[in-house]
Amino acid sequence: MTTIKVKPNESIESALKRFKRETSKAGLMAEIKKRKHYEKPSVIRKKRIDASKRKRRKNARDN
């Protein structure tokens, strides 16, 4: 879990900015979005395969 200690004479805005930066570094928001709705393992597998196909097609175009 990400914790931020507010420094003396630090504004709330700057502390919030630091907190947001730390949570994005930790990948916390991405994890929350991913877990918001349950996906069956087969759906996750299909998405991963489709992403791989798209990546291969893009790399083939660039070469």
pLDDT in tens, 16-42: 999 999 998 888 888 888 889 999 999
The separation between the first and the last C-alpha atoms of the chain, rounded to the nearest angstrom, is 42
Q: Is residue 2, in this structure, part of any structural domain at all?
A: no
Answer whether 44's CB lies under 8 Å from 20's CB: no
Q: Is residue 3, in this structure, part of any structural domain at all?
A: no
How many domains does the chain contain in total?
Answer: 1
Q: How far apart are CA 21 and CA 57, in angstroms?
A: 34
Q: 9: which 2 tokens?
A: 């004479």
Q: 55: which 2 tokens?
A: 């990546």
Q: Is residue 6, in this structure, part of any structural domain at all?
A: no
Q: How far apart are CA 61 and CA 63, in angstroms?
A: 6
Binned at pLDDT 50, 70 and 90, residue 55 comes out as very high
Q: Is residue 1, in this structure, part of any structural domain at all?
A: no
Q: Is residue 21, in this structure, part of any structural domain at all?
A: yes
